[in-house]
Amino acid sequence: MIKKILILLITFTLILSFTLFGCKEEVAEEEVTEEEVTEEEAEATDEESVQEETEETAEEIKLQASEGEVSFKTEDGININGNIFGTGNKWIILSHMYPTDQTSWFDFAQYLAENGYIVLTYDFRGYGKSGGSRDISNIDKDLEAAIVFISQYDSEKIFLMGASMGGTASLIVAAREYIDGVISLSSPDEMDSLSALDEVEDIDAPILFIASQGDEDAAASAESLFDMSLEPKEIEILDGNSHGTFIFEEEPENGEIVKQLVLDFLDSN
């Protein structure tokens, strides 16, 4: 009888020992699993932090543009010459008229720079210091290349302004690109294969049209384009006869009006 009791006690003790050992193993496994999960969460958090820091750094290292002569290439390989005026991150790209080049904008560009804007002037292909041959059908490509060029720099806002054919190109490109506003000075609604009439209603940005009353074709184009464009939009038909940037030299009083109109437009958008 005593032997049976001893055997039962020994058996019970062994069972209890195995049970307790198994529980310890499960607890140990749970602790290991929890440690692994904690380590994985920590690694994931570290990776997210690194990614956020990388994105922030990428934003911080946007280049700051310097004043002076620059050059860039179009998508079809033409070398375009330009100049930067001023500093900051509110950009204005000025596109010149025929038969002038970017130098026709220099005084006005300096005026805008003195009023807090950073300005890019450039020569269309075949004009001034730019390469290639003159080709009105491709001047929109030159302006698109200018936008790509300044995208490497810090840019809070980008405005386009053009005189005559430069204004036509500005309107056409404004319908394709995200910009903050466009200004048309004495711009034809159509030139050769380029038609601003086909594009202006697609512009999703404020527009300012300026022309001289005596420059009849330009005034008529400004009114037609204004009628077809979406709000917000403005139009100013000046008393006078000058076309495009000639207005600054030929009619200084109207030139001052244009300066103020443009500055007010930029400041309000």
Complete DSSP assignment for 92-139: EEEEPPSS--GGGGHHHHHHHHHTT-EEEEEPPTTSTT--S---GGGH
Mean pLDDT of the residues in the chain: 85
How many other β-carbons are positioned within 10 Å of the β-carbon of residue 226?
18
What stretches of the chain adopt beta strand conformation (E)?
A: 68-73, 79-85, 90-95, 118-122, 157-163, 181-185, 190-191, 194-195, 207-212, 233-238
Q: Please determine, for residue 13, whether its predicted confidence score (pLDDT) is greater than 70.
A: no
Same domain, 149 and 217: yes
Alpha carbon distance 147, 169 (integer Å): 13
Instruction: Find the domain containing 3 and state its range.
Output: 1-61
pLDDT at residue number 63 = 78
In percent, how much of the chain has pLDDT > 90? 73
Structurally, how many domains does the chain consist of?
Answer: 2
Which pTM does this prediction carry? 0.78
Q: Please determine, for residue 58, whether its predicted confidence score (pLDDT) is greater than 50.
A: no
- For the stretch 210-252, pLDDT in tens is 999 999 999 999 999 999 999 999 999 999 999 999 999 999 9
Q: What is the average pLDDT across 82-107?
A: 98
Same domain, 43 and 72: no
Q: Which of 127, 206, 192, 125 is nearest to 161 (CA)?
A: 206
Q: Please determine, for residue 30, whether its predicted confidence score (pLDDT) is greater than 50.
A: no
Q: What is the average pLDDT across 101-109?
A: 98
- For the stretch 146-185, pLDDT in tens is 999 999 999 999 999 999 999 999 999 999 999 999 999 9
Same domain, 92 and 39: no
Same domain, 177 and 214: yes
pLDDT at residue number 192 = 86
Same domain, 54 and 181: no
Count of helices and strands (H, E) across the chain: 7, 10
- Picking from 35, 61, 87, the residue at the C-terminal end of a domain is 61
pLDDT at residue number 187 = 98
Q: Please determine, for residue 41, whether its predicted confidence score (pLDDT) is greater than 60.
A: no
DSSP state of 201: G
Single-letter code of the amino acid located at 182: V
